[in-house]
Amino acid sequence: MKNLFSVDGKIALITGGSSGIGEMMATGYVMNGAKVYIASRKMAECERVAEELSAHGTCIPIQADLSNMDGIEGLSAEIEKREGKLDILINNAGANWAAPFEEYPESGWDKVFDVNVKAPFFLTQKLTPALRAATSTADPSRVINTSSINGLNVPDLETYAYSASKAGIIHLTRVLAKKLAPEINVNTIAPGPFQSRMMKETLERLGDAYLEAMPVKRIGCAEDAAGTAIFLGSRASAFITGACIELDGGSHTTS
C-alpha cells in the first residue's frame, strides 16, 4: 500500500515534454524517481528543460517532429535502441489552429490532426512491443493521452480542428484500451485551462471569464498535471483503462 502511487524506477516517454503540461508531467515524474525521456521538435528547448530536470533525477532530451511518419518511427526506434522496454508513454504533443469558419484552411486542419490524433496512434503502435516488454499482471504498462476539455465542451473559440481532434483522441483512447488490454492500460486526461504556451494568449484575453466560470476559482497548476499523470502511471490506477479524467476544476461537470 505504501508504494501505490510510486513511479520510482519506471521508464517514461513524454512527447511535448519541454513545455506546458508536458513539462509539468515530466517534472513530477523525474522528481519521483522515474527515468524520463522528453521529446520535442525544438531541440534547444528540449535540452534546456532536460538539463534543469536532471538536477533532480534523470531526464533525457530527444528531438522528434511528430507531424510525419519519419519522426514517429525515428522516435520509437530511438527509445527501443536505448531501452528495449517502456513503462509509460504519454502522448502529449499537440497543435492548434484558429481561423474563422469561412476561412479555415485545409493545411491547418491537417496539421492539427497529424499531431493530435495520427501521431498518438502510430507512436503507440510502434512502441507497443516495448510497452509489452515492461508490463506485468499487477502493474500493466501505460499509455496516457492528453486531450482537452474542448473535446467535451463546445468552445467559443474558432478552433474547429483542435476541438474535433481532442474529441477524437478521447474515443481513440477507448478503442486502444480494448485492443491492448490486458497488457497495456490506455487512458486520457482532458485538461481545462493551465498556464501554457498554447493557452497564453487566451488567458491574457479571457482569464477573468475563465476564473469566474470555474467552481474552484483558479486555473490548473503544475502539481495538478503532475499528480494526475503520476496516478495514471502508478499501481494505484492499474484497474483503470479507457477512462477520461477531466482535469478542469469541475468546469465541465458543473456547467
Task: Mention every residue, 6+ apart, whose C-beta is less than 8 A from residue 179.
Answer: none
Q: What's the CATH number for 11-247? A: 3.40.50.720
- Give the CA radius of gyration of the chain: 17
b/e 155-178 (16+ beta carbons within 10 angstroms → b): beeebbbbbbbbbbbbebbbebbe
Q: Rounded to 5 degrees, what angle do the CA atoms 184, 114, 129 make?
A: 25
Active site residues: 162
Q: Give the separation between CA 109 and CA 102, rounded to whole angstroms.
A: 13
Q: Residue 156's pLDDT is what?
A: 85
Side chain identity at 33, as an amino acid letter? G
CA distances from 165 to 38, 92, 104, 161, 211 (A): 23, 13, 15, 6, 25
Q: What is the pLDDT of residue 207?
A: 67
Q: How many CB atoms lie within 10 A of CB 125?
A: 12
Contact 18, 38 (CB under 8 A): yes
Angle between helices 69-82 and 119-134 (to 10 degrees): 10
Q: Which residues of the chain have pLDDT under 50?
A: none
Q: Tell me if 199 sits within 8 A of 193, measured CB to CB.
A: yes
Query: What does pTM read for this prediction?
Result: 0.94
Angle at 160 between CA 217 and CA 70, to 5 degrees: 105
- What values do phi and psi take at 249, rounded to 5? 65, 20
Task: Give the pLDDT score at 28.
Answer: 98
Distance of alpha carbon 78 from its chain centroid, rounded? Answer: 19
C-alpha cell at 237: 490506477
